Structure 1
């Protein structure tokens, strides 16, 4: 006979792990808020996100689990929604400071999110480094984000 568990289903357990991971991630991202506004802060936020994923790959994989994301509890959706809103706000600040001021801010948000999340997935998913013979260094991983934010020229990322 099984003992009564605090979690009724596997989905409940995964959701609780994802919420704990998201809270930890947001704590690390919050450490960037003392930096100046604009593209430097956007880079710091993206870097904190990628670094956290690298340091906590198990949490990150649970957070990105399609079933967890598809049925995300309200608390997880709120945490991730607040994170996205913070990025949107910072994109608007950067645009006011003349960074890509003619671009649609939602397009910029989409591109930055794709670069940040994609970079974190490549950095944490074991399928990428081995079969593709990729040896991603932190600098190589973050170079496309820097380039997108116009904080380096494409030639700056060559080695």
Structure 2
């Protein structure tokens, strides 16, 4: 093994490529996520939503009222992250939270009329993201399917 710099060994052969930053799928995914975040920030500005708030609203527009637990599962967020998001959305008048009449421990989140009305303005967001990504719709669908499979595989590897 040769030394590269004062204290860092430099692997030889195929293993050397494994440690190049540009070969790291996690880095590529993180960079793409950050780039998407920037485009979403611009696209969501007129709606007054952050990207995480937008995701909450997407789920509520799709499903209507949901228990916080199911909302968190759908978004892959724990209650410590989701609760402040919901509080801000409630303060903005976009969602209402109520205890479930069937189970006092469960809180149901429902879009308010203002939250439902916001949906119409949000329809332009996916189009802006699609245009900014610069890929044909079919390629983006394939990418989403691959990422869904990778996520499932990574989740299974943690069990």
Q: So what's the TM-score if we normalise by structure 1? A: 0.31
Higher relative contact order (CA 8 A, sep 6+): 1
Higher strand share: 2
Q: So what's the TM-score if we normalise by structure 2? A: 0.31
The structure with the largest alpha-carbon Rg is 2
